[in-house]
Chains A and B, each alone.
Chain A
Amino acid sequence: MSTGLITELNKLNSLERVAKELHTKVQYSTRKELSPYVEGDDTVVKLLNENAKLKHRLAIINQAIADEKKNMSPETDSDNTLLIMDHLEKIFSAAIAEAYPLYSKTPVIIAAVNNVSAKFGDYQCNNAMGLAKKMKEAGISISPRDIATEIKRCCPASPLIDKIEVAGAGFVNVFLSKQHAVSALTTMLRDGISPPNVPKKRILVDFSSPNIAKQMHVGHLRSTIIGESICRLLEFLQHDVLRINHLGDWGTQFGMLIAHLEDRFPNFINESPPIGDLQAFYKESKKRFDDDEHFKKRAYQHVVTLQAGDPKSIKAWQLICDVSRQEFQKIYNRLDVTIEERGESFYQSRMLSVVEFLRSKNLLEHDDGREIMWPNVNKTGIPLTIVKSDGGFTYDTSDMAAIRHRIEEECVNWIIYVVDSGQSTHFNSIFEAAQRCGIANPNEHRIDHVQFGVVLGEDGKKFKTRSGDTVKLSDLLDEGMKCSLKQLQDRGRDQILTPQELSDAQESVAYGCIKYADLCHNRISDYVFSFEKMLDDRGNTAVYLLYTYSRICSIARSSGEDFSNPAKILDAFNIVLDHEKEWKLAKTLLKFFDIIIKCSSGLYLHFLCEFCYEVCTAFTEFYDSCYCIEKDKTGKIVKVNHSRILLCEATAAVLRQCFKILGLKPVAKI
């Protein structure tokens, strides 16, 4: 009996266990929770885990965003005493609001006073005249001078301001506080130059954008130089910047290139064809394309196979792109440009979906076999061709796909296109269309077309080689290197500098002057390309700035003391701004932050170039009238003026930061 009972009991036990398991399974499946019984399906478990992780990360990031927003509260913003203009605007806005509440919305007019007339203060508020006029219109008659006096009375106290005076017809003159300047410069030297606080954005800068299989020319040069500097400027302000190279890698030209490649190098799949000179190759195929009908047909066929993703065509396309890419990269390396490639081909699938998207919104209209889209409801301007009559896409399509990707997938809130002025109509249409179809929202997205003029030759005509060809960028850079070396040799620097120092100086000058010549003019105007002018060591040129910078560096070096750690010196010595030229230099340096804001708001870099020049001029004045190091007749150092050398170091630090943005590489010896 007992053995039978035991087996029965054991059976019952295991049945109970099974029942329990089933019961839990049922519970889990009805609760739809992560159940241990899906263990068998690894992918489900994996995905569930991944999902949990992503959710957790999202919560963490949302928390971080909330914290950051809290930290960006307006109080901290208004604490930003680095921005003098901004600060003064706030002060006077408050003063006007208090003095004349009816006119509290009046925009404040602040101007930096030309340095010559130091007795008129450093900044002026010029609102009194305008207010007087407005009040007169309203039937109130008060003299501008009285208004100015009232504004002055109402100004809240500020650590930046030493005194305020009313002068002339009704100017309110502001004198900056030296004490504040000393503390600002001290912070600068101790902690380095920190950017002014601005709301952080995610920004995409679309620049350079050469075409595959074609050489980069001077037109690309401008976009590359300006784009790079804009990125650096925005990055300095701690924005999140995406640098995007919208390569032309998907046009119809690839059909003929692939067809030609097939003929010339039938074995290209297995053996990389030696196409060193892609331009020649391009020209050859273009000639055949124009002359040979049969070839032309084949070329068109290849466009179709490529866009359909045929492996052989793709391989050929990749080979061609790689050749170009290597060439481009050489240029970028020489110019110290960082950029991420995202060519038109990247948008192939997105072009399909953007067409669908526009169709679904009923924004596409049939027009003579094409599908077009009007950028605005009024149907003015030039319509965008979204689908060609043969079903193909155009630049309009890829630009619409790109802008949609940037806003919807990259989640940027500021897009900057650095493209020549000739394309402004096209881009305006794209921007309008993006708004019309709801991709872009003007309240959330800022979109800028940073235009620039053409490069002219010294003859005032479009920049060309003597034979009339467009100038190849690599040749231009080579030429710059040559000129810069010659100039250094003329000055006898090759005798003084070591070979390494000389070659550093040569590069610094060559690439520096090409970039600076481009950046120092208002970008909208055309500019004349002249090595002679850009290598001049007088006036607002890179060479002048670089020379001045190296002179500043040499001062601390020749003092016989170690100024590499200014914080240490500051422990023992204070900055003193007693001399008029010291004070002027200090005030100039403190404008830096205002200038940065000014540059970034309009995306104009020539303000920064002008500022550099102003700094260098102020420095030269200072250096001419203030001894930093006193020596006796034997050349022995008698006295080191630490405060002044610290001022030199501050100047060097400001210039270094400007150079960094402008892409100039300072060298200590030149």
Chain B
Amino acid sequence: MAGEDLIVQFQQLGMSEQKAKETLKNANVTKNLQLALAETKLPLPDGAGMLLYHMASKLKPQIAGQLPLLVKYIVERKLDNTQRVDAALEYLLKLGQKKNATVDVAELERECGVGVVVTPEEIERIVQQKIKGSYKEILLEQRYHFNSFKIMQEVRNELKWADAKSLKSAIDVEIFDLLGPKTEADLKPLPKQTDKQPKANAKTEVKAAAATETDGANTIAELMKTKVHFHAPGENYKTDGYVVTEHTEQLLRDHLKATGGRVQTRFPPEPNGILHIGHAKAININFGYAAAHDGACYLRYDDTNPEKEEEKFFIAIREMVEWLGYKPCKITYSSDNFQQLYDWAVVLIKKNLAYVCHQKADELKGFNPPPSPWRERPIEESLILFEDMRRGKIDEGAATLRLKLTLEEGKVDPVAYRIKFIAHHRTGAAWCIYPTYDYTHCLCDSIEQITHSLCTKEFQSRRSSYYWLCNALNIYCPVQWEYGRLNMNYALVSKRKIAKLITEHIVHDWDDPRLFTLTALRRRGFPAEAINNFCAQMGVTGAQISVDPAMLEAAVRDVLNVSAPRRLIVLEPLKVTISNYPHKAAVELEVPNFPQNPELGTHKITLDRVLYIERSDFKEEPEKGYRRLSPQQSVGLRHAGLVISVEQVVRDPVTGDIVELICSSKSAEEAEKPKAFVQWVSQPIQLEVRLYEQLFKHKNPEDPNEVPGGFLSDISADSMSVLCAYADRSLKGVKVYDKFQFERIGFFSVDPDTNGSHIVFNRTVGLKEDAGKK
């Protein structure tokens, strides 16, 4: 049918032309609608057209076969509102758990409330009862800011099939009765709430509207509760593409029994490298989703490839998960299941679903590898050869076990096992055949009774093989959900390439703060909370996201702003002697940790006749608009209550460099209000301060189009500089990872290199976004 014709037909269903055109763009809905139209004759009874559209857009592939029944019921007005249509869809979907189940019409009608009529009087009665009962007080208090949706829901509980429109107007009438016309105050938006309300759905409409604009949320918990719509445990069959077999119903029942209906997720890193910012998203989604639903999340080391695994990676991964604030319900290893996986492989061979192949790895490369000449070999033969593989009788590379299955992307017969004469760090010399990711992953998920197998979009094409394998073995089949990968611009995450940076002495180690590994971010001073919030802001959509580090830095600032106490530090000190120092000796001043929030504590700093200011805060020949110290212009000393003016500039007799300023001071009350206040220190201690800049010049240093010379040619010259700064003595006892805002400079964190008197700080981020650039 031509597009034009369809648009006309769609309009006859009650759509606007615009809507009809939009609908046409959605192939799935269009197909369903076409099928629906084929089932019936136009014109349709009033409203049925849009219900057909509603049904067509919500119909899942599992129950596509039930379309004629649905159309019939809609046209006959048995399903006469969206609520009933939704109920019918839900009922049929639930039925789909059983393979080839027949529809019990009576039950369907009961579930959908076919023929149930709710009179306006009934609605009025219940609405009155609710509003005059439990809601009266809160309504009188919050008036029209109260979200009446809550009342609607409660009425619905009692009058399931009440018409939405009548219900809404009945509530509006009752509220009007109670409160009278809206006052001016009712029309104003509410002031922003500072604290979160205990009940999420009691939030103001204003707030709710703001949140729906993006896919992200402020925190992971919020994201997982409000933005993510995965299936409920045990309702696997309701998801798109889930394959129902005759065992599904029983398996799901057993699964629910085993888990008690608990949400179970897992974070399954390969222990062959260091975690980076991309992993933070996976950690947050898996642990966060489980936490938000009172579920459990496993940390599973996917250690099926013995070649690259090292003990240190295991420890580092766990440490990073814990650093991000998550606790695995259990730590598991794919290798724990080697025997089970092997036994299942034998089952697959016996079912003629897998075979031993001798094609070489080279032969299988490229787009159109030749089909395996061993595909149809006798089962017996494969069994013997597979046993030979296990017993070390066959050379590495001379045989693999392959599954009889074609992946969506066209890859034929993926490899399930390969021979590697390498000891495994956990199983030692027990095995010389190791399972592949494709084979292991879904089976381990099944063993662990995972409810939601969350993975990145690249694995979408493996979903059918995932389901195929579980079903081939008649074991519980989890649901795979995909989300888009998080890529960080200007960052390099490949393990091999980072290693290269280290051996080339471009960075110092895996946790060099210029990198985007999680250890590097921690060392640089990024709070875990900020990383988590950043992930929450990115959301759990299917789109692959590439963001600039600035986004992450902004999240870091948000957290540090309210958590990092302020300190006075000068990075490049210039000595200042106050000629008329008002005190006899050094004095201690009490200074607030957070000047905007004095109740959050204070610390003491020392003021003396000799002090140091930032060299850049003095200019002999100031340009126009310059606000700080110059021979002609005085400046305030922050927190000291003094304003200083230059009396004399002392120079090095040889170089002519300025070495000291002799200044006079006035108390702040006496002096004219200076244009600016600067930070200073007296009787300072020395700090080593490391400043970091972006390591790479280009967004995608690995992209040969952007950087033809390879990532090593893209290194910025001065990505790290070291300064010897002066700080007040109050910083003497800092501990590693303590974080501060150095006033007017930026946020800094104590580096692990700190020992005893030698204190090292890393600059985490500048105070403003552009501070770190140019």
Contact = CB atoms under 8 A, between A and B. Distances in A.
Chain A: interface residue count, which band? 10 to 19
A536 B748 CA distance: 105
Interface string B488-532: 000000000000000001001000000000000000000000000
28 contacts: A2-B572, A2-B723, A5-B724, A6-B721, A6-B722, A6-B723, A9-B688, A9-B722, A13-B722, A14-B505, A17-B508, A56-B422, A56-B423, A56-B429, A56-B432, A57-B392, A59-B423, A59-B429, A60-B421, A60-B429, A60-B432, A61-B391, A61-B392, A61-B393, A63-B391, A63-B430, A64-B390, A64-B391
Contact of B505 (A6, A17, A64): A17
Contacts of B721: 6
B724 A60 contact: no
A53 interface: yes
Given A17-B505, A56-B421, A59-B423, 19 more contacts: A5-B724, A6-B722, A9-B688, A9-B722, A9-B724, A10-B722, A53-B396, A53-B421, A53-B422, A56-B422, A56-B429, A56-B432, A57-B392, A57-B432, A59-B429, A60-B392, A61-B393, A64-B390, A67-B391
A308 interface: no
Interface string A59-92: 1110110010000000000000000000000000
Contacts of A61: 391-393
Contacts of A52: 422-423
Contacts of A304: none
A416 to B, nearest CB: 24
A54 interface: yes
Nearest to A61: B392
Nearest to B430: A63
B295 to A, nearest CB: 40
Nearest to A9: B722
Contacts, number: 49
For chain B, what secondary structure do more than half of its interface residues adopt (helix, strand, loop), or is it mixed? Answer: loop
Nearest to B686: A5
A257 to B, nearest CB: 39
Contacts of A54: 421
B753 to A, nearest CB: 10
A378 to B, nearest CB: 45
Interface in B394-425: 396, 421-423
A54 B430 CA distance: 14
Nearest to B423: A56
A5 B722 CA distance: 9
Contacts of A6: 721-724
Contacts of B391: 60-61, 63-64, 67
Nearest to B388: A64
A14 B572 CA distance: 23
Contacts of B393: 61, 64
Interface in B63-91: none
Contacts of B390: 64
A260 B85 CA distance: 100
A386 B572 CA distance: 93
B723 A64 contact: no
A13 B508 CA distance: 10
Interface in B674-731: 688, 721-724
A514 to B, nearest CB: 32
Chain B: interface residue count, which band? 20 to 34
Nearest to B688: A9
Contact of B392 (A9, A10, A64): A64
Contacts of B429: 56, 59-60, 63
Chain B CB count within 10 A is highest, among A52, A60, A64, A67, for A60
Nearest to A58: B392
Chain A CB count within 10 A is highest, among B429, B431, B688, B723, for B429
A6 B720 CA distance: 11
Interface string A590-604: 000000000000000
Nearest to B422: A56
Interface string B298-335: 00000000000000000000000000000000000000
A9 B508 CA distance: 15
Contacts of B432: 56-57, 60
Chain B CB count within 10 A is highest, among A14, A17, A64, A67, for A64
A60 to B, nearest CB: 4
A61 B505 CA distance: 44
A166 B430 CA distance: 56
A55 B431 CA distance: 13
Contacts of A17: 505, 508
9 closest A-B pairs by beta carbon, nearest first, are A60-B392, A64-B391, A59-B429, A53-B421, A57-B421, A61-B392, A56-B421, A60-B432, A57-B392
Contacts of B430: 63
Interface in B554-581: 572
A227 to B, nearest CB: 26
Nearest to B720: A10
B655 to A, nearest CB: 11
A14 B421 CA distance: 40
A481 B27 CA distance: 72
A14 B724 CA distance: 17
B427 to A, nearest CB: 11
A14 to B, nearest CB: 8
B393 to A, nearest CB: 7
A52 B422 CA distance: 7
A61 B395 CA distance: 12
Nearest to B432: A60
Contacts of A64: 390-393
Contacts of A5: 724
Contacts of A13: 722
A6 B723 CA distance: 6
Chain A CB count within 10 A is highest, among B505, B508, B722, for B722
Interface string A28-67: 0000000000000000000000001110110111011001
B352 to A, nearest CB: 16
Contacts of B688: 9
B675 to A, nearest CB: 27
B419 to A, nearest CB: 9
A5 B430 CA distance: 57
Interface string A274-312: 000000000000000000000000000000000000000
A63 B508 CA distance: 44
A6 B690 CA distance: 11
A2 B422 CA distance: 53
Nearest to A6: B722
A431 to B, nearest CB: 31
A49 to B, nearest CB: 9
B398 to A, nearest CB: 12
A67 B390 CA distance: 12
A64 B422 CA distance: 16
B190 to A, nearest CB: 53
B396 to A, nearest CB: 7
A17 B508 CA distance: 9
B421 to A, nearest CB: 4
Nearest to B424: A56
A451 to B, nearest CB: 35
A53 B421 CA distance: 5
A64 B391 CA distance: 6
B432 to A, nearest CB: 5
